[in-house]
Amino acid sequence: MINSVPITTPDIPILITSTASSSTSSSAPATTSSERRITPSWTLAQLKVKLEPITGIAPSNQRLILRLPDQDGEIPLEASDEDRKQVGSWRLVAYAEIKVLPIHPISLPIPTLNSSSTADDASAPSATMDPSTYATLPNTVLAYKKTHQIGRFDPDAPRKLSAKVEGMWAQVRAADLQLSQRCHLLHQPTRRGTIRSITPIPELPGPEGAPWIGIEMDEPWGRNDGSVAVPAAVEEGDEEKEKEKDKGETKRYFQCRPNFGVFVRPERVVVGDFEVLGGLEGEEGENELEEL
């Protein structure tokens, strides 16, 4: 059903990710990641046009997948009439992820097999490409960003990034966010907790030095125990280490039970004198949830 009622919700910060141009699978690891503000009144067609400079994928070749921060499932963003369907028709929440995939793989030159090799020959040359070679190729995401001065190729990027980070810290000061304050998540008044950390987290995506608010939730709505995974350095082609990289070290920012911790941006936090939910007692919330 086409939504014909204009949506006037304020802009929403969304994490935009995309995969390598040769991969069409939603399970493929993201090769680019950036934080953008999405206007819910945009049509799906408008959103795709705006995503092209970020991902290098043409609007007609984009397949969009929405991932909500509190759910494991995927929601396809598609419509029969993309020029009328507004993106606010879907449940967009702050710091959800929109993954941009190519419908059809974008071909890049790869080494040619010699006459004595076959596709099944283990000795056949690899199709991997040296980064320095990729940097010289035309018609790639990297070349597009260089030509249009996008991201790190924007001469004014350092100043813009610094202003963005300062703006986030200004939100912390304006909301008077402090440790041990009671709070709930924006637009989710029943998801309450206590602020346990206010600090940059280099292991999470986003501008370097920008604040993340660590919250110990009253109930198990979180995604961690107050720690985050430290990305392991994996050499390209090392399949065994690639499989083990998600089992590496973690860095702790506060202590809580598994699935009671969450990290969010300042704009998602509402502080106040909120009662503890879930039958927890005490400031540290050490007692177990009451059985129903």
Q: Does the pLDDT of residue 183 top 80, yes or no?
A: yes
218: exposed, middle or buried (Cβ count in 10 Å: 0-12, 13-18, 19+): buried
- Per-residue pLDDT tens digits for 151-182: 778 888 888 889 989 999 999 999 999 999 99
Q: Does the pLDDT of residue 292 top 90, yes or no?
A: no
Please give the class, per CATH, of domain 12-106+140-153.
alpha beta
In the chain, the amino acid numbered 200 is: P
Specify the residue for token string 């065994």.
240
More confident residue, 6 or 258: 258
Where are the CATH 3.10.20.90 domain residues in the chain?
12-106+140-153
Q: Give the pLDDT confidence score for residue 68 in this predicted structure.
A: 83
Helices (H), 228-280: 239-244
Question: Average model confidence (pLDDT) for the chain?
Answer: 78
Helix H, strand E, coil C: the string for 99-118 is EEEECCCCCCCCCCCCCCCC
Q: What contacts 67, CB < 8 A, 6 or more positions away?
A: 73, 74, 75, 96, 97, 98, 99
Residue 166 — φ and ψ, nearest 5°? -65, -35
More confident residue, 290 or 7: 7
Going by pLDDT thresholds of 50, 70 and 90, the confidence category of residue 42 is: very high
Q: Does the pLDDT of residue 123 top 80, yes or no?
A: no
- Per-residue pLDDT tens digits for 239-266: 555 455 445 689 999 999 999 999 999 9
Please give the class, per CATH, of domain 163-271.
mainly beta
Q: How far is the C-alpha of 208 from the C-alpha of 165, rounded, in Å?
A: 8
Residue 169, CA distances (Å) to 36, 139, 174 in order: 18, 38, 9
As a whole number of angstroms, the longest Cα–Cα distance in the chain is 75
